[in-house]
Chain A
């Protein structure tokens, strides 16, 4: 969902930027006095600044409501899953979960930096965090659909980085 939104926003904005640059390019030919353009330009710039700033403010406000590391511990008791990454695989303390389970993945690494990426059966990332030596990152995910989920490595860790894989079954 966030992936799709990012893609659409990027496309729309790109079209907007292309239109602006092409318009100015097409209107670069006939010379007029710069003073007039500056007066008008600085006004447009103020409006543009207010628009960009407001969009950023709104985006900040709304997106900070849903932080992935703020597990709603209070709402539900999470099912704890310990995940340990090592070159080149993942150890998990639990590999079958149920739909409706609210999982807390406690992720760490035994050697170098790895990444914990949780993919659903459509191969879409649904959650991730870093797997770091000496530290434990916790990421929360509520399973709403059954299926086979796969943990893949998201931080380059050497020659078999792309082969690090661990499946998790989620049953009805």
Chain B
């Protein structure tokens, strides 16, 4: 079987992803620097005023989730374009709105002292305890609304194009095959995954927009209030789902490229389709696991939060990661840096799922909730999962489209990145095990050693990421202009 690493889409689309990817990369690096600064502060290695800490924490959380989603949207767009016609103007619009939103958020935080964290839990934006006023809150919430609207428009366009091509989202999620009405394979994995992302994110973003609007009104009209428990439910229905969807956008690059690298197909058979339907449903309804410590929630919802979070681990553990292992096993793959990142992303996703599942257990959540255990698990799967997908995509682009050749330093930084990120998230988990709360500007002396270790590993993550970024940016301008590398990554066909 002959395969090609090239993706058959027009060069306009190829060019369109360059700017948002460069921008995401630069912001990721900047946010990593902020991450290290927070750790240096918590570890008492520098003097960091708590007000500054919380501002940095707010921008780090917002920025990281925002730009990884932006990079994820590049992945969806690039590969989905092969199967359905998409309007590039909408993609551009999202990038512009993102820039506007980011500017508002930055001004809100750094000029007007907003530091309500990226979850802006109602009624904190309106009741800062004296740290920020109306303007800061309005700029931040307004900026988030602009960013959310951009993503909403983008995904509505993707959903529109998918429905036009496949008839309905049920068809593109493979219901005919699951129900046995049609034989054979379902739509391409990319279409299935994009459908899932469209469904969960459109719902999450509309929820988020409603919540943001109500919070905004509350800032200016304090007599307009929302039920705090409802607001909390909406916050996590939006934040949890949106943050989670990033890895489901990113996994598309794995579905598309690993089969090309190995010369083995990744088809949407029945189990695959069932897994994605499970993910769609569970991603939408597991958010109550953030509310396990809200005992006023109905008991059945709290228990379902635990059960569903467990089940939500099944699709990746049993289907996606397992499928990747099968495709790679004795495939004769000729590894390059891009494919290594893709393989790494499967590893990162799996290894990050376990501490998450553990924390979703009510009795454990009782002593782990809002400790550093939580950032520990999501740094693992965001850093080694989602970021590895984004980096794999970047390395693929500059290799196939930009004329970059892998060198020894690329591999060295790749390995360092893995070790450093494991060390960073491992020290967060360790802090969580030692009961250190998350989101604390200053730690008790007992918790400081783990912060120092984390700062050390964080610095390495930052340096390696800088090197990846330099490699990407130096070749990125060639992308889409037909400087094609020959397709010599095909696996050997003998044996």
Q: Could you list which residues of chain A lie within 8 angstroms of chain B, going by C-beta atoms? A: 2-7, 9-10, 13-14, 17-18, 20-21, 24-25, 27-32, 34, 37-38, 41, 45, 48-49, 52-53, 56, 59-60, 63-64, 66-69, 87-88, 111-113, 115, 117, 119, 123-130, 132-139, 152-162
Contacts of B366 in A (CB 8 A): 2, 68, 127-128
Among B121, B373, B435, which residue has the most Cβ atoms of chain A within 10 A?
B435
Which residues, 41 to 63 on B, are CB-close (under 8 Å) to A? 50-51, 54
Which residue of A21, A66, A158 is within 8 Å of B131 (Cβ)? Answer: A158
Query: How long is the Cα–Cα vector from A155 to B313 in the complex, in angstroms?
Result: 26
Instruction: Please name 5 further chain A to chain B contacts, defined as beta carbons within 8 Å, in addition to the given A37-B330, A123-B434, sorted by A numbering.
Output: A10-B354, A14-B351, A56-B310, A159-B130, A162-B440
A-B contact pairs, 20 of them (CB 8 A): A3-B434, A4-B433, A21-B343, A31-B330, A37-B326, A41-B326, A49-B314, A49-B318, A60-B310, A63-B363, A66-B363, A69-B302, A87-B129, A112-B124, A112-B127, A113-B228, A113-B232, A154-B371, A157-B124, A158-B54
Contacts of A10 in B (CB 8 A): 354-355, 358, 429
Which residue of A30, A48, A127 is within 8 Å of B330 (Cβ)? Answer: A30
Query: How long is the Cα–Cα vector from A24 to B229 in the complex, in angstroms?
Result: 47
Contacts of B182 in A (CB 8 A): none
Which residue of B50, B317, B435 is within 8 Å of A160 (Cβ)? Answer: B50
Q: Is the CB of A133 within 8 A of B228?
A: yes
Q: Is the CB of A9 within 8 A of B350?
A: no
A133 and chain B: residue at smallest CB distance: B228
Q: Is the CB of A125 within 8 A of B435?
A: yes
Contacts of B328 in A (CB 8 A): 24-25, 28
Query: How long is the Cα–Cα vector from A66 to B306 in the complex, in angstroms?
Result: 13
Contacts of B311 in A (CB 8 A): 56
Tell me the minimal C-beta distance from B262 to chain A in angstroms: 8
Which residues, 112 to 132 on B, are CB-close (under 8 Å) to A? 115, 117, 121, 123-124, 127-131
Query: How long is the Cα–Cα vector from A64 to B366 in the complex, in angstroms?
Result: 12
Among B229, B335, B430, B492, which residue has the most Cβ atoms of chain A within 10 A?
B229
Contacts of A127 in B (CB 8 A): 366-367
Contacts of A52 in B (CB 8 A): 313-314, 317-318
Contacts of B368 in A (CB 8 A): 2-3, 6, 125
Q: Is the CB of B439 within 8 A of A161?
A: yes
Query: How long is the Cα–Cα vector from A137 to B292 in the complex, in angstroms?
Result: 12
Across the A-B interface, how many residue pairs have beta carbons closer than 8 Å?
231
Q: Is the CB of A126 within 8 A of B306?
A: no
Query: Does B293 sit at the interface, judged by CB under 8 A?
Result: yes
Tell me the minimal C-beta distance from B209 to chain A in angstroms: 21
Q: Is the CB of B228 within 8 A of A135?
A: yes
Which residues, 293 to 316 on B, are CB-close (under 8 Å) to A? 293-296, 299, 302-303, 306-307, 310-311, 313-314
Contacts of A157 in B (CB 8 A): 124, 129
The 10 closest A-B CB pairs, nearest first, are A31-B332, A87-B129, A69-B295, A158-B129, A162-B440, A156-B439, A41-B326, A7-B433, A137-B295, A154-B370
Contacts of A138 in B (CB 8 A): 295
Contacts of A41 in B (CB 8 A): 322, 326, 329
Contacts of A48 in B (CB 8 A): 317-318, 322
Tell me the minimal C-beta distance from A53 to chain B in angstroms: 7
Query: Does B264 sit at the interface, judged by CB under 8 A?
Result: yes
Among A53, A124, A161, which residue has the most Cβ atoms of chain B within 10 A?
A161
Query: How long is the Cα–Cα vector from A156 to B370 in the complex, in angstroms?
Result: 9
Contacts of A135 in B (CB 8 A): 228-229, 294, 296
Q: Is the CB of A132 within 8 A of B229?
A: yes
Query: Does B495 sit at the interface, judged by CB under 8 A?
Result: yes
Contacts of A154 in B (CB 8 A): 369-371, 437
Q: Is the CB of B54 within 8 A of A159?
A: yes
Q: Is the CB of A60 within 8 A of B306?
A: yes
Contacts of A112 in B (CB 8 A): 121, 123-124, 127, 129
Q: Is the CB of A32 within 8 A of B495?
A: yes
Q: Is the CB of A115 within 8 A of B370?
A: yes
Contacts of B128 in A (CB 8 A): 158-159
Q: Chain A interface: which of B397-405, B407-415, B441-449?
A: B441-449
Q: Is the CB of B435 within 8 A of A6?
A: no
B319 and chain A: residue at smallest CB distance: A45
